[in-house]
Structure 1
Amino acid sequence: MRRFGEIPEPGRRYTLRTGAYAILPGRDGLLLTHQSAPEPEYQLPGGGVDPGESPVQALFREVYEETGWRIARPQRLGAYRRFTYMPEYDLWAEKLCLIYMAVPVVRYGDPIEPDHTALWMTPDTAMDYLANSGDRDFVHRYASRATIFQKRG
């Protein structure tokens, strides 16, 4: 499996943390989230899989919490891993990031997750703003395929 970001530090203990994240295309581009704390950054909506939860259940929950949107038809695109410090948990983590594509179908309101704002960006702009290189890689792959299909149509 491909690794993005920092190389794991020898001797450091990392806790495996599985998360589900989504590329959410719509008329206005891709639905993303901006998290203002603990560090301001743009992200694919999603997050950690809680005990007893499947990755798809976590995806539905996390996207709703971070964007206020309900989604449909999630399809897994792939996965990557990265090693990072998570200050909100005071945890060094080996993040296993499962990436899905889904359709945003209904906006119920603002995000309920503190410090999150939902916003739309074109794929090209998202590739410039997304905080981690794994997310940027998957958006790049999505945008490349979308361009091929547009040229065929």
Structure 2
Amino acid sequence: MRFLRAVFSAVVATLPVLVILLVPALVRGDVDGGSAAGVGSTLLNAAFIAAVILVPKVNGWLDPEVPDWTSSTAMAATGRVWRGRIWLALLAVLALLGIFAAGQTAAYFLGVSAPAMAGGELDYSRFLAQELVVYLLGYVLSLTTYVLMMRVLARRAE
């Protein structure tokens, strides 16, 4: 159950990322009608960094463990982990980045086998499939892993 609540926390924290991913002009440079891919990639990175920072708070709200992990104490507990156990916190971020890269790679291979641009036209169903793979395997699964690791590290830090 804790895993499912962590997944839901990651989904809630990354909803702005999903909104950006669903707009082809923000994430693709080869879309007709003018592309804002530079702005989109900046917004995407900012939304993901904000999600990484806020996911413990969202998880504390959705899956509280009184008094150590609630919406009001999860950020402080994460801060204690970063101050007291920096190397383990960096390993949690490394796991996040590894899973994120695996999601990006899976979406790349999906894009190679079924390109979103076919005959100069964007096939939105193929585009959507690629972006959902990136979102679910890259963003959501990586944040789920990160928040679960932070919970364990916060519990052991005390």
Q: Is the TM value for this pair above 0.5?
A: no
- When Rg is computed on C-alpha atoms for both structures, the one with the higher figure is 2
| TM-score, length of structure 2 as denominator length | 0.29
Q: Could you say which structure has the higher strand fraction?
A: 1
Q: Could you say which structure has the higher helix fraction?
A: 2
| TM-score, length of structure 1 as denominator length | 0.30
